[in-house]
Structure 1
Amino acid sequence: MAEPDLADLDAFAAVARQRSFRGAAARRGVSPSSLSQAVRRLEDRLGVRLLNRTTRSVTPTEAGERLLARLTPTLEELGRALDEVNSFRDSPTGTLRLNMPTVAAKLVLPGLVGPFLRAHPGVTLEVVAEDSFVDVLAAGFDAGVRYEERLEQDMIAVPMGPDQRYVLAASPDYLARHGAPTHPRQVLDHACIRHRFLSGVSLPWEFEKDGEIIRVSPSGPLVGNVPELGIAAAVEGLGLLMTFDGFVAPCLADGRLVEVMAEWSTPFTGPRLYYPSRRQMPAPLRAFVDFLREQAKAW
């Protein structure tokens, strides 16, 4: 029997963990067919089926489960060994895989990508932006990005950007027709443009002033999960919009939108890069952490 190829073993482990060829391919930036061919080669060489495949699911066989259990620590140790060699380079090489909320990918990451990749040309940055809270390590990511209230306590967290703020805004036309609320509870009397996550959750609007926190759940003519759509609706005068200040900064600057009740808008800590303290850091991740800590001096 020919010795299995290490790349095929790694491909099998990725598919077995994700329970999906498409999911594993998306995480790795390759085609599902390439992973399917790798697993098929491995099964042919071992002479045993490792994955049960149907049109709806992929599950490891008993042999596949046993191989995955023995293979996982071996692949992790191999990764650590290669990374130790990588640490002797002037600039690390390799792939840094990050999972983060859409807002961080749109507002925070763009200002970091250029300087970081220019400083580390050997690093490839792979980013998946999603608003569901996945186990980033089990999904094959090196680190995740979350806001403070969503962080696990056994994680190391590094600031990824300055403080942010939610802004309540409306168009001058809307305010001329309906007036501006002066207290959070008055927001309930207005048409409001709301955000709803793909999970179906629509968070209440939270206001804070002098230590008092008030949450309201408004209603209105538009609910969606695309920030640009809500901003366009607010500019059209369809209602009040509450969103991250970075999303509406251009509209506030040119007067298409006007901030309302600014005194009830309290800054909160920006996103945090997080990773487990018990795990040796891959060289690309270590370089990114060092980069963020240097950037934080200017925030």
Structure 2
Amino acid sequence: MRADLADLHAFLAVARAGGFREAARGAGGSPSGLSDAVRRLEAALGLRLLHRTTRSIRPTEAGERLLQRLEPALGEVAAALEAVADFRDRPAGTLRLNVPVSAARLVLPRIVPPFLAAYPDIRLEVMAEDEFVDLLRAGCDAGIRYDERLDADMIAVPIGPRRQRFATAAAPDYLRRHGRPEHPRDLLGHACLRGRFPGGALYPWEFERAGELVRVDPTGPLLVGLGGATDLAVAAAIAGTGIIKLFEDWLRPHLDSGALEPVLEPWWQSFSGPFLYYPGRRLVPAPLRAFIDFVRDRAD
């Protein structure tokens, strides 16, 4: 049994669009040409793949089963053809990344502008969200996450600084009014600005010094959703509302300017930097390969 690849694409286009005329508008062909292609495919398979009426077209049971296997298979074919672009001097196409808000703010600004300048034929789409997603289902080529959140079947490439710290800080005015904590447990008597992950869990406050790990669960007047609302907590800390705990790099401009002062700095916990990750079971598209090579060349 043999089926022409173009006929398979025609069947997929018609099934997605729900009609020959609609598919022709999207594919740039003719309804009659698509109809002929689907008939050839049905003849080659010896099966009816589409129910046709004057008002609608929908897949048969056999057509549905073929669709389920055909879409990912043709996606792999497209990726294989796109990977040939690696042999060109100027890789082209779209690269889609899914990243946490912290990476969009702290890691990518130093990488994206020079990367796009080096590869003007690549278009970059960045989706910033703190909820872990299925890359393929989200239509993304790669993502950025920290190592404890990577699946075993992913290939990981270090990106950005390899060591980072969580910093605790408060405005000078707040510390004058309420005093300076000397131990993490002192935070239980302070107004603390907390964050909540998309899944609902509170962002943990952990501190470490000389091998001693301390976890505290302070309360305060403000709780924000991590990601888009994080800057609100930073602004509240600068205004003297309470103590904030966040990436050191996020707070660094305000620490350097004096708008915030370090709190419990000897207890600031460090952690490994983020990774660019992508599925290891598929061919790497040319724009992603260019980005991977660019990141490796600029490794900190």
Under TM normalisation by the shorter chain, which class is it? Answer: 0.7 to 0.9
Shift of 1:152: 1.2
CA distance in 2, matches of 1:62, 1:187: 62
Q: What is the match of residue 290 of structure 1? A: 293
Paired residue for 1:111? 110
**2 CA distance for matches of 1:238 and 1:158?**
39
CA–CA distance in 2 between the matches of 1:7 and 1:271? 42
Distance across 1 between alignment mates of 2:292 and 2:108: 14
Query: Counterpart in 2 of 1:279?
Result: 282
1:254 equivalent in structure 2: 257
Describe the SS at the equivalent of 1:87: helix
1:236 is matched with which residue? 239
8 Å Cα contact 1:97-1:126 kept in structure 2 = yes
Show the 5 A alignment for 1:164-183.
164-183=164-183
The amino acid that maps onto 1:68 is L
Extract unaligned runs of 5+ from structure 1. Answer: 16-33, 51-60
In 2, Cα distance between the equivalents of 1:261 and 1:285? 41
Query: Aligned partners of 1:153, 1:274: CA distance in 2, in Å?
Result: 11
Kindly tell me: are residues 264 and 235 of structure 1, through their superposed partners in 2, closer, same or farther at Cα, counting changes over 3 Å? same
For 2:13 and 2:260, the matched residues in 1 are separated by: 51
Deviations 1:167-197 (A, max 9, x none): 1000001101111111111111110001112
The verdict on how the C-alpha distance between 1:89 and 1:66 changes in structure 2, with shifts beyond 3 A counting, is same
Alpha carbons of structure 1 residues 276 and 77: separation in structure 2 relative to 1, 3 Å: closer
Pairwise CA distance, 1:64: 6.5
* Residues 123, 5 of structure 1: alpha-carbon distance in 2 compared, 3 angstrom cutoff: farther
Q: 2:58 is paired with a residue of what secondary structure?
A: coil
TM-aligned CA distance change 1:220 to 1:63, over 3 Å? farther
Q: 1:211 deviation in Å? A: 1.8
Give the counterpart letter for 1:122 in structure 2. Answer: D
TM-score, normalized by length of structure 1? 0.79
User: 1:90 is matched by which residue type in structure 2?
Assistant: D
Question: Partner letter of residue 271 of structure 1?
Answer: P
| CA drift at 1:63 | 6.1
Task: List structure 1 runs of 4+ shifted beyond 6 angstroms.
Answer: 10-13
Within 5 Å, which residues of 2 pair with 1:94-109? 94-109=93-108
SS at match of 1:164: strand
Contact 1:191 1:219 (8 Å CA) reproduced: yes
- Higher Cα Rg: structure 1 or 2? 2
2:121 corresponds to 1:122: yes
Assess, with a 3 A threshold, how the Cα gap between structure 1 residues 10 and 178 changes in structure 2: closer, same or farther: farther
Task: Give the alignment's TM-score, normalised by structure 2.
Answer: 0.79
**Alpha carbons of structure 1 residues 12 and 295: separation in structure 2 relative to 1, 3 Å:** farther
Q: 1:135 to 1:81 in 2, by over 3 A?
A: closer
Instruction: Choose the corresponding residue for 2:58, options 49, 52, 70.
Output: 49
CA separation in 2, counterparts of 1:222 and 1:153? 37
C-alpha separation in 2, matches of 1:11 and 1:115: 41
- Per-residue deviation, 1:241: 0.3
* Paired residues for 1:49-68 under 5 Å: 49=58, 62=61, 65-68=64-67
Q: In structure 2, what residue type is equivalent to 1:252?
A: L
| C-alpha distance after superposition, 1:259-284 (max 9, x if no partner) | 11111113211211011222221111
CA RMSD of the aligned region, Å? 2.8
> 2:292 is paired with a residue of what secondary structure?
helix
Structure 2 match to 1:270: 273
Give the partner amino acid of 1:136. L
Alignment of 1:21-40 (within 5 A): none
**Contact persistence 1:196–1:224 (CA under 8 A):** yes
> Which residue of structure 2 aligns with residue 184 of structure 1?
184
TM-aligned CA deviation for residue 148 of structure 1? 1.4
* Deviation by residue 1:123-148 (Cα, 9 ceiling, x = unmatched): 11111111111111222211111111
Per the alignment, do residues 249 and 63 of structure 1 end up closer, same or farther by CA in structure 2, a change over 3 Å counting? farther
SS in 2 for 1:115: helix
The 2-side partners of 1:89 and 1:210 are apart by 52
Q: CA deviation at 1:157?
A: 0.9
